[in-house]
Amino acid sequence: MDRDVVLIVNPTAGGGRALRLLPRAETALGAHGIRVRVARTRSLEHARELARAAAAAGEVAAAMGGDGLVGAVAGELVGTDGRLAIVPGGRGNDFARGLGIPRDPEGACALIAAARERAIDLGEADGRAFVGIASCGFDSDANRIANATRVPGQLAYVYGAVRALASWRPARFALALDGVASEHVGYNVAVANGSYYGAGMRIAPGAALDDGQFDVVTVSGVSKLRFALQLPKVFSGAHVANPEVQVRRAREVRIAADRPFALYADGDPIAELPATVRTLPAAVRVLAP
C-alpha cells in the first residue's frame, strides 16, 4: 500500500523491549509494502519534535514504546492532519490494550497496513496531553515506586501498590466535576479517558475513548486490609461494584488535596496538584480496530 510511516522508537522502553522488537516491526511493515523510516528518541520532548515533523511531512507517526511515548506523540498531532499508530514496546502498553492492538509487532503492523482510522479523545492536564488515565493519591505513590524498580511488567505495579500501602494514610481531596464541588476522603482519584492502567488494571471498565467524557473513579478510605483483599478485582473491573468505589462522569475535573501529590498519566508524572484535567474530544486519528 502507498503509505509512509515513521517509527518513533523509545530505545529504553520496556527495559529495551522496543529496541529488540524493532527489526521485526520494520520487516512487518516492509512486507505490507509500507515505506518506513526509524527515528529513535532521546527524550519525550524529542519524541514530540519527531511527531510534529511526521505530521508536517504527511507521515503516519507510529509510536513504538510505552504509554508515555504514545501520549507525547498523540498530543503533538492534535489540530493537525497527522495520524497516530501504535506498536507496543513498553512495560504496560495499556492504551494499546484498550484499543485492541496486538502486543506482537506483526499484529500491530498489520493494523497499520489495514489503515482503519478512529477519532479518539485525549485528556489534558495543565497543558500536557495524555491518552489513558490521570490519577493521584495512592496511585502517585504506587507509580513512583513502580517506576523506580526493575521488577518486570505487571509485577512492577503490583509491587508498587504493596509498597505504597505500607505507609499510606487517607488523603482529603477537593474535587470539582464540571464545576460541581465535592469532597473525597480516601485512596485516590482516577480520571479515565481509557479503561486500563498499571499494565492491565481495568480501573475504569466503562470508560470509552470516543464519548467526550471521563470516567472519574474514587476509592473511599476503607481499611488497608480490605483495600489489599479487593485489589485483585481491579484486573477484571469487578471492583466498581464495591460500595467504597464511586464512578462519576465529567468533561473537566479540578483536583486539590490536603498534601502534595504528583498527578500521573500514562505512567509518568505530568502535573502537581492542584491541577485541572480536561477532555479533548475526537482530538486525534488513530489506526486501530
Q: Are residues 104 and 138 in the same domain?
A: no
End position of a domain, from candidates 90, 115, 140: 115
In this structure, what CATH number is given to the domain that contains residue 40? 3.40.50.10330
In a domain, 96, yes or no: yes
Alpha carbon distance 223, 168 (integer Å): 11
Q: In this structure, are 74 and 187 located in the same domain?
A: no
* Count of positions (residues) in the chain: 289
Whether 8 and 106 share a structural domain? yes
In this structure, what DSSP letter does residue 284 have? Answer: E
Greatest CA separation found in the chain? 57
Residues contacting 28, CB < 8 A, separation 6+: 105, 106, 109, 110
Decide if 100 is inside a domain: yes
Both 57 and 168 in a single domain? no
Question: How far is Cα 122 from Cα 158, in angstroms, rounded to an integer?
Answer: 26
Shared domain for 137 and 275, answered yes or no, is yes
Distances in whole angstroms, Cα of residue 197 to Cα of each of 3, 7, 56, 129, 213:
31, 24, 31, 16, 17
Dump pLDDT digits (tens) for 106-165. 999 999 999 899 999 999 998 899 999 999 999 999 999 988 887 776 788 889 999 999
Quote the pTM value: 0.93
**Residue 1: pLDDT over 50:** no
Contact by Cβ (8 Å): 214, 251: yes
Give the span between the Cα atoms of 194 and 212, in whole angstroms.
11
* Domain final position from 48, 82, 115: 115
Mean pLDDT of the chain: 94
Considering the domain architecture, whether residues 150 and 268 belong to the same structural domain is answered as yes
Does residue 169 surpass a pLDDT of 70?
A: yes
140 with 244, same domain: the answer is yes
Residues 90 and 180 in one domain: no
Task: Assign 174 to helix, strand or coil.
Answer: strand
Let me know if residue 88 belongs to a domain: yes
pLDDT, tens only, 181-232? 999 999 999 999 999 998 899 999 999 999 999 999 999 999 999 999 999 9
The answer on 181 and 85 residing in a single domain is no
Place of cell 522496543: 18
* Cα–Cα dist 120/231, whole Å: 29
Q: Are residues 76 and 154 in the same domain?
A: no
Report d(CA 262, CA 279) in Å as an integer: 19
Residues 226 and 138 reside in one and the same domain = yes
Does residue 289 fall inside a structural domain? no
Name the band, by pLDDT with cuts 50, 70 and 90, for residue 92. confident
User: How many domains, the chain?
Assistant: 2
DSSP string, 17-77: HHHHHHHHHHHHHHHTT-EEEEEE-SSHHHHHHHHHHHHHHT-EEEEES-HHHHHHHHHHH
Burial class (CB within 10 angstroms; exposed 0-12, middle 13-18, buried 19+) of 69: buried
Q: Which domain holds residue 50?
A: 4-115
Q: What is the DSSP string of 203-252?
A: S-TT--TTSS-EEEEEEE---HHHHHHHGGGGGTTGGGGSTTEEEEEESE
Would you say residue 158 lies in a domain?
yes
